[in-house]
Structure 1
Amino acid sequence: MIDLVNLSKSFGTRSLWSNVTTTVNRGEMLALVGPSGSGKSTLLNCIGLLDKPNSGEICHEGKDITRFGRRETRRFRRDVLGYLFQNYALIENATVAANLEVAVKPQRASRKVTGASFAEALERVGLAGRADERVHHLSGGEQQRVALARLIVKQPALVLADEPTGALDHANATAVIGILREMAEGGCAVVIATHDDRVRDRCDAVFSVDGSALVAAHSL
């Protein structure tokens, strides 16, 4: 799905990580672990084209996405990528349904994706029948599950999740990881930056960022 080739990132004289080379496959759930400040989120942001490495390549289907222009970047984010942010990144004054609507790709919208698709996604995340509620009335755990439902509607090939359980209680954290696990088993590639051992233990492989390099993955 994604090949990282000799990636390096630094800020001033500080090297965050260097010579990162690995592959993230379809159907795989991979955990990025390491101490705070080691560069987990920065690596996610580079894969998601929200940041750029100082050197190296990030290849998707043979193309180095770090060289994409604005149009190609928009297309990659629209057609391939799904992002799960720790702060949920929802439209708080809009309804749950409206937040799901923004995930529908233009080509799918032209085929008039029905509310049943939204209903199915909400049922999967335990929010059945709540499409008309305003997001700001929901708890943090419920908002994160709306963000998950948005991913289910979008059906991305690659999901990047930045500390998705960081602010959640045990029950909501378990639900979130369960859905990400289902998405991986359905053929999606999932990369999660996390400090949560429960998340790490549900992943297929773990990469440890030690502050200067990405240590080789080990399978669980």
Structure 2
Amino acid sequence: MIDIVSLSKNFGPRTLWSDVTTTVSKGEMLALVGPSGAGKSTLLNCIGLLDKPNSGEIRYAGKDITRFGRRDTRHFRREVLGYLFQNYALMENATITENLEIATKPKRSARGKANVVIAEALERVGLAGRGDEKIHYLSGGEQQRVALARLIVKEPALVLADEPTGALDHANATAVIDVLREMSDAGCAVIIATHDDRVRDRCDTVFAVNENSLVA
């Protein structure tokens, strides 16, 4: 699914990480761990084409995505990638349904299936029947559930999650990881930057960013 080969990232004279090499397969859930400042989020951003490494390659389907131009980058983000941000990245003045409609695949919208898909996603995250509520009235845990529903609706092949449980209570954190685990079991590759041992323990593989190594 994703091959990261000899990846390095510098900020001025500081080397954040170097020679990062690992593979994330279809259906695998990988935890990126390491101390604050180790560059977990930066590595996610490089994979998500929000940042550029200084050297190395990130290969998806045999292509080095770090060399993508604007058109290929847009296609990759639209057709392949799903991102779960710690700050949820929702339209706060819009309704839950309006936030999910953006992620609906065009073919489904054309066939009139979008409403069914959205309803199923909301039921899956425990927000059934609440599609008309505005985002800014929701708690943090509820907003993260909406962000999860958006992922379910989009059906990405690759999910990048940046500290998705960092601001959540135990129940909401468990709900988040349950859905990510289900998506992984269905064939999605999931990469999670986390400090949470509960998240780490649910993953198939652990990669220590500061040591550039897989951890048993």
Structure 1 partner of 2:207: 207
Distance in 2 between residues matched to 1:54 and 1:116, nearest whole Å: 44
- Per-residue CA shift, 1:181-214, capped at 9, x if unaligned? 000000000000000000000000100122xx42
Structure 1 partner of 2:150: 150
Instruction: Give the letter aligned to residue 139 of structure 2.
Output: S
Structure 1: 5+ residue stretches without partners: none
Structure 2 partner of 1:162: 162
Task: Give, in angstroms, the shift of residue 110 of structure 1.
Answer: 2.6
Percent of residue pairs identical:
76
Does structure 1 residue 135 correspond to structure 2 residue 135? Answer: yes
Structure 1 partner of 2:76: 76
Task: Give, in angstroms, the shift of residue 107 of structure 1.
Answer: 3.5
Instruction: Give the letter aligned to residue 47 of structure 1.
Output: I
Structure 1 partner of 2:215: 218
Structure 1 partner of 2:43: 43
Instruction: Give the letter aligned to residue 32 of structure 2.
Output: L
Structure 2: 5+ residue stretches without partners: none
Does structure 1 residue 185 correspond to structure 2 residue 190? Answer: no
Aligned residue pairs total: 216
Do the aligned partners of 1:161 and 1:190 also contact (CA within 8 Å) in 2? yes
- 1:5-24 aligned within 5 A: 5-24=5-24
Distance in 2 between residues matched to 1:114 and 1:56, nearest whole Å: 39
CA, structure 1 residues 114+108, in 2 after alignment: closer, same or farther (shift >3 Å)? closer
Give the superposed CA RMSD.
0.9
Task: Give, in angstroms, the shift of residue 115 of structure 1.
Answer: 1.1
Structure 1 partner of 2:92: 92
Normalised TM-score (structure 1)? 0.96
Distance in 1 between residues matched to 2:162 and 2:44, nearest whole Å: 7
Structure 1 partner of 2:30: 30
Instruction: Give the letter aligned to residue 212 of structure 2.
Output: L
Do the aligned partners of 1:78 and 1:105 also contact (CA within 8 Å) in 2? no
- Per-residue CA shift, 1:6-55, capped at 9, x if unaligned? 10001111111111111100100000001000000000000000000000
Task: Give, in angstroms, the shift of residue 108 of structure 1.
Answer: 3.2
Instruction: Give the letter aligned to residue 131 of structure 1.
Output: G
